């Protein structure tokens, strides 16, 4: 059995000020087992009780070089010295975009977003504008962001309600999503 005294104490405090004690439902593992991480290095994360684990989640994708990588830390430190965000185009942004366009066949232009949610929301809007179609498909059982149009049939949805492989039924994840949106999925 893992030590959990410090993690539980912190999580109990979090439960009193953060909904479900987490800033994303995907982080919630239950009232007595939700991890509370204190630090990480490379492929390993360490919780508030000094239990160390391999981090298979990798921050849901962006931590492909590992946590606290010295190369990344140094590059970020140098960039922050020049300012953090300007609400305007920068030369670095342009250089990164040029590099990506040159490396990805068929990509002519791109747009950077802050989150995957924004990326899928804009991608849907562009696709609808181009095709003039409102209905779209998504990978059933997968997470495509936190906007209303894609919060259907994710991994947390009950399999019994999703229909068959040949006739899937969009299952809404959570409340507050207008019922009519289901018609577009």
Q: Could you state, in order of their start, the residue ranges of all structural domains in the chain?
A: 1-84, 134-184
Cα distance between the two ends of the chain: 43
Whether 155 contacts 137, CB under 8 Å: no
71-75, 97-101, 123-127, 134-138: segment of lowest average pLDDT: 134-138
Question: Residue 159 pLDDT > 80, yes or no?
Answer: no
* 1-84 classified as CATH 3.90.1150.10: yes
Residue 65 to residue 62: CA distance in whole angstroms? 8
Looking up tokens 């507050």 gives 176
State the pLDDT at residue 34: 95
């Amino acid at each position: 059995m893992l030590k959990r005294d410090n993690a539980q104490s912190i999580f109990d405090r979090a439960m009193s000020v953060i909904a479900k004690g987490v800033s994303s439902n995907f982080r919630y593992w239950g009232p007595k087992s939700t991890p509370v991480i204190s630090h990480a290095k490379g492929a390993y994360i360490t919780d508030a009780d000094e239990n160390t684990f391999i981090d298979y989640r990798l921050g849901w994708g962006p931590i492909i070089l590992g946590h606290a990588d010295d190369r990344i830390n140094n590059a970020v430190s140098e960039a922050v010295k020049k300012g953090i965000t300007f609400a305007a185009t920068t030369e670095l942004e342009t250089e990164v975009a040029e590099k990506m366009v040159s490396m990805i066949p068929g990509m002519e232009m791109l747009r950077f977003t802050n989150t995957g949610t924004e990326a899928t929301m804009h991608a849907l809007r562009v696709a609808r504008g181009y095709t003039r179609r409102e209905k779209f498909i998504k990978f059933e059982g997968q997470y495509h962001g936190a906007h209303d149009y894609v919060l259907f049939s994710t991994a947390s949805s009950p399999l019994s309600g999703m229909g068959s492989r040949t006739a899937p039924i969009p299952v809404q994840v959570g409340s507050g999503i207008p019922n009519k949106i289901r018609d577009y999925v």
